[in-house]
Structure 1
Amino acid sequence: MPPRVVHVTPPDAIADGVEAIRVELELPAAFPPDALAEADRVAAAAAPPAPAPPGAPAPATAHPSLDLPFATIDAPGSMDLDQAMHLARRPGGGYRVSYTIADVGAFVAPGDAIDREAHARAVTTYLPDRRIPLHPPALSEGGASLLPGVDRPAFVWQLDLDADGALVATELRRATVRSAARLDYDSVDGELRTLLQEIGERRIAIEQARGGVSLRVPEQEVTRTGGGWSIAYRAARPTEDWNAQISLLTGIAAADLMVRAGVGLLRTQPAPDEKALRRLRAASVALGAPWPDGVSYPEWIRTLDPAVPAPAALLHQAAGAGRGAGYTAFDGQAPDAADALHFAIAAPYAHVTAPLRRLADRYVLELCAALAAGADPPPDVRPALPVLPGEMATGTQRANRAERAAIDLVETVLLADRVGERFPAVAIDDDLVQLTAPAVRTRIPGAQLTAGTAVELTLEAADVATRTLTFAVAA
């Protein structure tokens, strides 16, 4: 399920509540001293050397340098930069995607303090006013991050596409790279934007043709307006969608490498069960964007506009209907086609593009690089494969619980001074109700409302300490 990212401006209004969530869910407060010291050491070793005197030979590097003007594209202010790209047209038609991924394994030794802590955390956890990172910031925001203007060890995927955007050739190698630009989604322009759009739109068309669907789940944003607060959904920019397609392309290429070799770690997702789909269909009627008979799930999802509140709520519910995503490890024989599939993507797929934020990606990158070179993977990779699904599930579930608690907190803070007010709402299913505004979903135990019924709710209580809102159907 894609994360419901929450942005809070200013963050100090909920700082105490977020700290309570961290304590309650036993999220780590800080890295152990040995992990911090180790990160400082390896990050310092990766610092750019002093300029050489004129005429001196270039210093040796662990891997050959790749002289391409890569650019990172991420949210404004991001420092943990996992990926950078260079896009070009191929002679005779088609495209070449050079996608470089941070080489975390160049800094982390199996069993060292950083590695132990990464296995305990599994993922970076995002809260409204802070991040709880997978790796110490000296590494994730420093030595290993693909910051502009500095040499970094990296994995470089060379993905050749035909004129329609279909993948025709894959190469993967280690290299020393240097990002030339740090961009956000609004600052991508010129030839890079042109090529990103062309490739992104072609990959979206290929996704649709194979029956996949990228859930454009909007972010829930909270801002102060005048003397109060507001909450709304923010739809992704087109550049975010196109950028996501490059990541998906790389994950599909990685899965293909591993499936053909009979060893790997896939990100898999079963199809939603019939009950979840029935609830989603009822919710679609309730929220005024009905799922017509005879229209497939992916076709209908693509009609939902994430910038409109009701369809945005449906996209969140669709993400919930698709729960069950996990990791499938194999060694010796690839899983059956059905077991290797990721439902939403409609293809085998692997997490491989975010090693600074997800533990599994580091191992998949190491494995894929070895397979591409016809070599044996590092000795710690194969033994880790059967263990990683459990570690990733634990870390992801913990992060999801924290995210859900944070959303509950934000919603409670927003409505704390509005007890006694009435709010228009629509019943989604049984006791689940969606407020028309603000973008809040709530349950009213025992209400037994008919899906699609318009109701008014009275806010009876808002307890910030317990992060609970109590509504009742207005008389």
Structure 2
Amino acid sequence: MPQRPVSLHAPKGSVAAATIKEGLDALIAKAQQDSELAVEFPPGVLAEAEEAAASWRDRARDHEDLTAVAFVTLDPESSTDLDQAMHLERTGAGYRVHYAIADVPLFVPLGSALDAEARRRGATVYLPDRRIPLHPPVISEGAASLLPDQEAPAFVWILDLDAKGEVTAVDLRRAIVRSGEKLDYDGVQAQIDAGDPHPMMALLQEIGDLRAALEVERGGASLTVPEQEVEADGEHVRLRWRELHPIEDANAQISLMTGMAAATIMLEGGAGVLRTMPPADATNIARFRRQAEVLGIPWADGLTYGAFLRTLDWRDPAHLALLNQAASLFRGASYAAFTTPEEIPEDHEQAALAAPYAHTTAPLRRLVDRFVLLACLAHVRGEQLPADLREALPLLPELMRESAARGGALERDAVSLVETAALEALVGETFSAAVIERREGKTPTGKDGKKNGTPSQTRVEVQLTDPPVTAWILIDAEVGTVIQVHLDSVDIPGRTARFSAA
């Protein structure tokens, strides 16, 4: 959670951090009981982690020495589990990207207690005042993290790009690296906006822009919406909008490019695990286009829906409503594992990227990336996948699905807790809110198929700007309009807030 300047008085809409902690403790306890969420690491796993952190050099004797390469990291300021470091340079034909990814497999060997525990967890869970890590912190925030001025083992992707940003050559090595600088999004963007960018970050923005243009050319699509963030303010926390900086999108493009390269390597090698998403249904795209027309948002002929999405600005209530509707076009993401070429699914693309894709750049925080790195390395070296790796691949889709269900449910409940707690001091006030969804009331249908009974009321979902929360209200209003709503009551334990039309 990013740290901000501390004020002497709690701002309106803030809530005591102790209240959030108490509520989250209760949510975590319930999640542990209901879904077997793992929080504490078993003593044997912690002991194995300590040993792995202390002795990793003994297992890295064959790693190449790339400590002379001037890597830097780019993350939120408070991050300590740093998966990626980069070195970018211009070449005569285009660009060369060195992209170092934490060598988690060196610390978490297949078949170990650490491996079993990571499979049980699946991914790091991020909550407003804490995180539940995938690996013990001695690994994820210590020896395996690409922290500044610390030598660490890494998988280093070397990608050559042409002048348009297209990848022309890919290599993958295991190496020892050292990051020289820990850069953060806010600081880097401020330097860019002031006209005095960090040299490598100026190059990152340049490459990122080229990759984004290629994404549009392929027919890919990205949803650009602000993040809801919990902000620390002394002993209080509050919700605020955090708009993504352009440099963050550029940074994401480097990760996406690497994931696409990993997918290509595994498809050619005939074994691996992909991140997939089915293409948006033509009916849904047609409906989305009609919604744009109703909201009065021009959609030029020949413009793909991905390119169209990039024209939308969430600050406009009509655009915000349409972006909310666009989420229906990005459904069905899953994983597809295969151990022979014959098992490769016919629909193996990630439709939002309009290309095959794999998760490979966040092994400290996501289970599947560790296996993708190992599979890619074997393919690049022309080796057969080890038996234990080949046996694990088919298990990963279900492990990741279960992990997403557990962690996602807890993260949603945590956000609802903070939302309602932040609203408690605002009961009785009136807010402007944009209508982002409308559900018309329906008359119940009896067993005979005839409609009878009292029809339900039409309701709309609205988005408040400050604090940034959403709510359903029993009222009829057009999507994309701005209405006035009154906060009637708040139930923090129930994580609900009751609004009415003002």
TM-score bracket for the superposition, by shorter chain length: 0.7 to 0.9
- Relative to structure 1, is the Cα distance of residues 77 and 425 closer, same or farther in structure 2, using a 3 angstrom cutoff? closer
Following superposition, the deviation at residue 87 of structure 1 comes to 0.7
Shift of 1:93: 2.2
Shift of residue 226, structure 1, vs aligned partner: 11
Displacement, 1:312? Answer: 5.1
Offset of residue 389 of structure 1: 0.3
Asked whether 1:365 is paired with 2:373, we answer yes
Name the CA distance, whole Å, in 2 between partners of 1:299 and 1:337.
Answer: 28
Counterpart CA distance in 2 for 1:138 and 1:224 is 25
Q: Give the residue type in structure 2 aligned to 1:304.
A: L
Which 5+ residue runs of structure 2 have no aligned equivalent? 5-13, 189-196, 440-458
More divergent stretch after superposition (434-443 vs 391-400): 434-443
| Distance in 2 (alpha carbons) for counterparts of 1:185 and 1:453 | 33
Q: Which residue of 2 aligns with 1:42?
A: 52
**Higher mean C-alpha displacement, 452-461 vs 366-375:** 452-461
Cα drift, residue 88 of structure 1: 1.1
Q: Distance in 1 between matches of 2:62 and 2:234?
A: 55
Check 1:312–1:334 CA distance in 2 against 1; reply closer, same or farther (3 A cut): farther
Q: What corresponds to 2:25 in structure 1?
A: 19
Matched with 1:79 is 80
Question: For residues 185-227 of structure 1, what are the alpha-carbon distances to aligned partners after superposition, in whole Å with 9 as ceiling and x for unaligned?
Answer: 2444432012111111111111111111232232113447899
Contact 1:233 1:309 in 2 (8 A): no
Aligned residues: CA RMSD: 3.1
Task: Identify the match of residue 415 of structure 2 among 407, 410, 427.
Answer: 407
SS in 2 for 1:303: coil
Against the structure 1 CA distance between its residues 184 and 198, is the aligned structure 2 distance closer, same or farther, given a 3 Å change threshold?
Answer: same
Q: Percent identity?
A: 46
Give the CA deviation at 1:231: 3.8
SS at match of 1:25: helix
Residue-by-residue CA offset, 1:231-278 (whole Å, 9 max, x unaligned)? 442211121111111101100000111111221111011123467557
1:109-134 CA distance string (max 9 Å, x none): 22322111110110111001001110
CA 1:160–1:24 in structure 2 vs 1: closer, same or farther (change >3 Å)? same
Distance 1:336 1:32 in 2: 37
The yes-or-no answer on 1:429 pairing with 2:438 is yes
Deviations 1:271-296 (CA, angstroms, capped at 9, x unpaired):
2346755775677678x673637443
Say if 1:432 and 1:274 are closer, same or farther in 2 by CA, change over 3 A: farther
Question: Is residue 93 of structure 2 the alignment partner of residue 93 of structure 1?
Answer: yes
Q: Relative to structure 1, is the Cα distance of residues 229 and 181 closer, same or farther in structure 2, using a 3 angstrom cutoff? A: closer
In structure 2, what is the Cα distance between the partners aligned to 1:289 and 1:35? 57
TM-score, scaled relative to structure 2: 0.83
Q: How many residues align?
A: 458
- 1:351 is paired with a residue whose SS is coil
Matched, 1:352 2:386: no
- d(CA) in 1 for partners of 2:174 and 2:237? 48
CA deviation after TM superposition for structure 1 residue 310, in Å: 6.0
Letter in 2 for 1:87: L
* Cα displacement (A) at 1:355: 0.4
Q: CA deviation at 1:321?
A: 4.1
Q: Say yes or no: does 1:30 pair with 2:40.
A: yes
Correspondence for 2:471: 442
Within-5 A mapping of 1:73-472 = 73-90=74-91, 92-188=92-188, 189-223=197-231, 231-273=239-281, 277=285, 290=297, 292=299, 294=301, 295-306=303-314, 311=319, 314-315=322-323, 317-319=325-327, 321-333=329-341, 339-427=347-435, 428-430=437-439, 431-438=459-466, 439-444=468-473, 447=475, 449-452=477-480, 454-472=482-500
Alpha-carbon deviations, 1:156-194, whole Å to 9, x = none? 111000111110001111112222222112444432012
Mapped to 1, the partners of 2:322 and 2:242 lie a distance apart of 14
User: Which moved further from structure 2: 122-131 or 312-321?
Assistant: 312-321
Whether the aligned pair in 2 keeps the contact of 1:309 and 1:436 (CA below 8 Å) is no
Aligned mates of 1:184, 1:307 — CA distance in 2: 25
Opposite residue 497 of structure 2, the aligned amino acid is: L
CA distance in 2: counterparts of 1:419 and 1:190, whole angstroms: 46
User: 2: CA distance between counterparts of 1:462 and 1:291?
Assistant: 39
Distance 1:291 1:12 in 2: 47
Aligned mates of 2:319, 2:476 — CA distance in 1: 23
TM-score w.r.t. the length of structure 1 is: 0.87
Gaps spanning 5+ residues in structure 1: where?
A: 50-58
Check the 8 A contact 2:292/2:299 in 1, yes or no: no
**1:285-318 superposed Cα distances (whole Å, 9 cap, x missing partner):** 78x6736374432122101235667645654553
Q: Secondary structure at the match of 1:154?
A: strand
2:498 aligned counterpart, secondary structure = strand
| Alpha-carbon contact 2:270-2:344 (below 8 Å) kept | no
Secondary structure (helix, strand or coil) at the match of 1:340 reads coil
Residues 312 and 323 in structure 2, CA contact (< 8 A), matched pair in contact too: yes
Q: Structure 1 residues 393, 337: CA separation in 2 closer, same or farther (over 3 Å shift)?
A: closer
The amino acid that maps onto 1:70 is F
Aligned 8 A contact 2:338 2:344 in 1: no
TM-superposed CA distance for 1:451, in Å, is: 3.1
Change in Cα spacing, 1:228 to 1:281, as seen in structure 2 (3 Å) is: farther
CA distance in 2, matches of 1:6, 1:367: 38
